[in-house]
Amino acid sequence: GEDVEQSLFLSVREGDSSVINCTYTDSSSTYLYWYKQEPGAGLQLLTYIFSNMDMKQDQRLTVLLNKKDKHLSLRIADTQTGDSAIYFCLTSGTYKYIFGTGTRLKVLA
């Protein structure tokens, strides 16, 4: 079946940039989303990109999409301690929603 892979952990220093990567297999994916989940909380939509775009910037967040390689990334500029959370990518294809495995981001003060 279709799959979405992410690295399990990422640790960065406060003020640095964070880059979270996601690779997917579903070529029918039309929308690709990034969500943030803090301990004990639900999923917060951060941003999304449509499959005919290759980049989208939204304040501190930059999403890059390489459709040929089926690779999606989320860059967080000037990472803060409040950004510590688990980040999930979600692909939305033809009648399918597939979440990535999640990347736990730890920001060191």
Binding string to other proteins for residues 13 to 32, with x set by CB under 8 A, is what?
Answer: -----------------xx-
Secondary structure (3-state) at 52: coil
Among the candidate windows 7-15, 19-27, 54-62, 84-92, which touches other proteins by CB under 8 A?
A: 84-92
Handedness of CA 16, 22, 27, 28 (dihedral sign): negative
Residue 51 binds other proteins (CB under 8 A) = no
Residue 90 binds other proteins (CB under 8 A) = yes
Secondary structure (3-state) at 86: strand
Name which position in 52, 55, 82, 95 contacts other proteins (CB under 8 A). 95
Positions that interact with other proteins (CB under 8 A): 1, 30-31, 33, 35, 41-45, 48, 88, 90, 92, 95-99, 101-102
